[in-house]
Amino acid sequence: MAKEFSRIDVRGVAGRIGANIRGVDLAAADQYDPDTMREIRAALLHHKVLFFREQNLNHAAQVAFARHFGELTRLPGRQHGTHPEGFPEILVVDPDAKGTRTGLRFEERLYRKSERHDSGWHVDIASAVNPPAISILRCEVATECGGDTQWTNLVAAYEGLSRPLQQLADNLRAEHALHAGVRLLFSDDEDLEIIRKRVRETLLSLHPVVRVHPETKQKALFLPPASVSHVAEMLPWESDGILGLLFAHISRPEYTVRHHWEPGDVAVWDNRAVAHLQPADLLYTDYRRRMYRVLVQGDRPVGPDGFVSESVRGEPLKPFTGPGESDHTGPMPG
């Protein structure tokens, strides 16, 4: 790969996924010439997730960098969550920032209610009929230990299946919804509030289990455990059996990479080809991370048989052009 790049230094991190990128200052506007951006995009398509270390981005620079990949998107209104004042495109990823909206125990509650040990693996906003194409995550506050994020290569996972399983998966569709990977109980008052919120605001979409990447034409096993409720048109016991097998396969160690964050780090990943796992170990420490995420507009997944994702409930994600489109234009309390 090194011979293909003249403007950036690309160094692989794991065998099937991930690369450190050197030789580019993301805060410098003159770094974004077309040739450099073409190389960054080429590296992203090949390695699936890129790590830029020791960057000094502020909110404006992160948004400017993200726009070089395409139009930006986000969930509408209060569904988006907390954002920095003046930058509604950005989502603040911090348990304390979420506290005034959903309760400080929200993340821990959901983790303890996971259906499986690997239920946290997710694709950003996979419940939308057109999930984001690219995610850009910046670290402002890191932890001394723990707090690592993991990514898994969904293309490599598909390629690692036997041919009969590939052929089966090629023709399946799965329903995606928020919090599908956790078990919520009607006997629990706090669970009931989450259920009511899901009914009011949730996105629900039918996606192909295998999606053909619109740029590389590679097939990816588009089946993140956090959002998939069931395989369409299968009996429940059939669906559970297929999903259990494929969920376990997606997170095999040989498809994954793990990143320990330092302040200033920026990760860029292809949301069409990877799933990622947020750290659960922070629930058992006093550490807190503070991150900022920006999303690039995506398209509807298409399966090998030509099936195009369908919306069951909710509207497609739209390009976000300004706070006028949101019913929440300022930072949320906290």
Task: Tell me if 280 sits within 8 A of 57, measured CB to CB.
Answer: no
Average pLDDT over the chain, rounded to whole? 87
What values do phi and psi take at 256, rounded to 5?
A: -115, 165
| pLDDT at residue number 169 | 98
Whose structure tokens read 């979409």? 205
Report the distance separating Cα 222 and Cα 41, nearest Å. Answer: 21
Strands 290-296 and 134-141: antiparallel
Q: Is the pLDDT of residue 18 over 80?
A: yes
- Mean pLDDT, residues 226-239 taken together: 95
- Mean pLDDT, residues 290-299 taken together: 96
Give 120-163 pLDDT, tens digit per residue.
899 999 999 999 999 999 999 998 888 899 999 999 999 999 99
| Beta bridge partners of residue 257, listed in sequence order | 151
| pLDDT at residue number 108 | 62
| pLDDT at residue number 110 | 66
| pLDDT at residue number 128 | 96
Interior CA angle at 131 toward 203 and 166, to 5°?
105
Which domains, and CATH codes, for the chain?
2-324 (3.60.130.10)
What values do phi and psi take at 266, rounded to 5?
A: -130, 130
Q: Is the pLDDT of residue 321 over 90?
A: no
Strands 173-177 and 204-208: antiparallel
| pLDDT at residue number 326 | 44
Residue 308 DSSP label? B
Does the model's pTM come out above 0.75?
Answer: yes
| pLDDT at residue number 203 | 87
Q: Is the pLDDT of residue 267 over 70?
A: yes
Give 37-74 pLDDT, tens digit per residue.
999 999 999 999 999 999 989 999 999 999 999 999 99
Report the distance separating Cα 99 and Cα 288, nearest Å. Answer: 13
Q: Is the pLDDT of residue 168 over 90?
A: yes
| Beta bridge partners of residue 290, listed in sequence order | 141
